[in-house]
Chains A and B, each alone.
Chain A
Amino acid sequence: MSRKAIVAAALAATLMAASCSEGAAEAPTPSGTASFPRDVAGVTVPQRPERVVSASATHTEIIYALGAGDRVVATDLFSNYPAEAGTTPKIDAFNINVEAVASFDPDLVILAFDPGDVAPGLASLGIPTIVFFVPATLEDAYGEMTTVGEALGLEDEAARLVAQIRQDIEEIVSGVPPGEGDPPTYYHELGTDLYTVTSGTFIGTVYALLGLRNIADEADAGGFGYPQLSPEFILAADPDFIFLADTVCCGESALTVSGRPGWRELSAVREGRVIELDDDIASRWGPRIVEFLETVGSAVYPTVP
């Protein structure tokens, strides 16, 4: 072998390694015919999965958005979007029975929560299982979409989906006027017990894209991200905007919160800046994050489409 050939082979190997680690976008093979077995997020997927169990509502939405809904054989109780996902056989994501999952004879299982023994249990049955985590940023969320695409052999579709979401979000964010003075403040309600998020959470980083400032950051000394606020603190902070992410779970609305003790004195209540969100859209990090940004952005700024 000539020196030239050796260099070329090394280069090719490096390129291949790079394409594997950096994911789908650079993969040269056309989608669907991509080579299996492959390594996805440290898990070996032996063949193109045809029977997928998704125990995570966010990832169920991603799978359907990639056009692989027909390969889903079961989902968890929270997977309700799109509507077809709601009618699949159900498992309980927070109380997973390995045997029940195995009974669907899956060739790929997706989890967003593992109490500690589910993934190893499924792995010991030879079922490839990928465990995802709540992302910290939008980039992490895109990474999860890419990984789901790779696992399904749909890397091109995933790349297109991510590119589309990026473009949509850029468009929304471009409508945010340049900041003058103090940024508008907000309170994002998770439940009637006044649990909320800080700007350090995924959803908090999305609000930050729109130039909003979170009132709860000082309530989270431990950095957990989900503090429970005192009602009088909310009154004193008097946020410019109140976003309710407990409209479905708890039936809250602009009307019900205006009846809470003292809340009719809040500027957001008096001036109609209480925005009712869909709990599910506001708590997931799938493709519908665009809808979330649209709702919030257009409520805050008239310049956002």
Chain B
Amino acid sequence: MTAAFRLRPSALLGALAFLMAAVMAGLLVGPVALPPGKVLAEVASRLPFLSFDSGLDARQAAIVWEIRLPRVLLGALVGAGLAVSGAAYQGVFRNPLADPYLLGVAAGAGLGATMVIVSGGATAAIPVAAFLGGLVAAAAAYALGSLGGGPRSGATLILAGVAVAAFFTAAQTFLQQKHAETVRQVFAWILGRLSTSGWSEVAILTPYVAVGVTVILMHRRLLDVLSVGEEEAGTLGVDPTRVRMAVVAAATLTTAAAVAMSGLIGFVGIIVPHTVRLLVGVSYRAILPLSVVAGAAFLVLADLTARTVLSPAEIPIGVVTAFLGAPFFALVLRTSKRGVW
């Protein structure tokens, strides 16, 4: 093994510093101007064994503790989950265009959420239905892809994902049009947002992202082996089908949970892994962990932009991820001397 394949500590430290800066900015900056010292004091005063008065009044304290901090953490969790899932899909299918919504997770989640909304179900049921819908769609894509037989390559699975996504999207659109009275609610969900979330969403999402990220990271070495080719991997004693199933399951679970909590946020799963790849090389042992950290930082910054650029109005975060992500990616692509794939 050459040193180029390892994750360099300097790269990881750099990414962590970037994430810390993003979290700080997310905590300190917002539509309401609060003294930075008191904001940090407020957060510190909530830590165990510490109890002092931060100097903020009750509403200001609520802005810091109940709105900004959970929103920053949720952004970090969703960004980390989507970015590492995107990187995992790209590795498993050896396809640079693979994204976290590849197997129809987004379409399935959209159908699940729409079903609850049009039937007048409780708001709390929407994330559950979105999560289940995403998993059903991914399972359908996987079943359909396996039916094809032939060479069990990723291409069949990708095509199956396209077909399933089209079918679920058609069903979702039909339901949405049939119930015009709830169409605004459906769009509000689809556009994706973190803004009205609190600690409960953070608590729900954390275990899914933790498990998903851990499983994906455990397979980082095997993804490097797989990247040289399936037959070659077989001769090295790696079962490509088993690796693919484990990684796809972990990435799908993570994506479905993230989508259920935040709606559809595009672009993170493509732009973050590719940027990391351009900066540090082609090894998944470097790309996967760095995508976790960089994805978290990217979405925290995107959300910060979403709530400050037209402050005190908000813009959908999906608009920001694409608007910031595309030019940034072009810049990295232009300055990088390495090929991508």
Contact = CB atoms under 8 A, between A and B. Distances in A.
Interface in B161-203: 177, 180-185, 188, 193, 195-199
Contact of A235 (B67, B182, B184): B67
A265 B30 contact: no
Given A230-B31, A261-B198, A249 B123 contact: no
Interface in B24-76: 30-32, 58-63, 65-68, 70
A4 B180 CA distance: 62
Q: Which of B31, B68, B185, B307 has the most CB of A within 10 A?
A: B31
Interface of B is mostly: helix
B180 A92 contact: yes
Contacts of A95: 177, 180
Nearest to B263: A193
Given A194-B314, A232-B67, A250 B123 contact: yes
Interface of A is mostly: loop
A191 B184 contact: yes
B122 interface: yes
Contacts of A193: 188, 193, 195-196
Contacts of A77: 180-181
A238 B58 CA distance: 12
B195 A231 contact: yes
A163 B196 CA distance: 44
Contacts of B184: 191, 249
Contacts of A262: 59, 62-63, 65-67, 198
B237 interface: no
A94 B307 CA distance: 30
A94 B193 contact: no
Contacts of A260: 196, 198
B312 interface: yes
B195 A249 contact: no
A219 B62 CA distance: 21
Interface in A242-267: 249-251, 260-262, 264-266
Interface residues of A, number: 33
A132 interface: no
Contact of B59 (A78, A218, A220, A235): A235
Contacts of B67: 231-232, 235, 261-262
Interface string A169-196: 0000000000000000000000111100
B313 interface: yes
Interface in A196-252: 218-221, 227-233, 235-236, 238, 249-251
B196 A230 contact: no
A172 B180 CA distance: 35
25 contacts: A92-B180, A193-B193, A193-B196, A219-B313, A221-B310, A221-B313, A227-B310, A228-B315, A230-B30, A230-B195, A230-B311, A230-B312, A231-B195, A231-B196, A232-B32, A235-B67, A236-B63, A249-B185, A250-B123, A251-B123, A261-B67, A261-B196, A261-B199, A262-B59, A265-B62
Given A229-B312, A266-B59, 4 more contacts: A191-B185, A219-B313, A228-B313, A230-B307
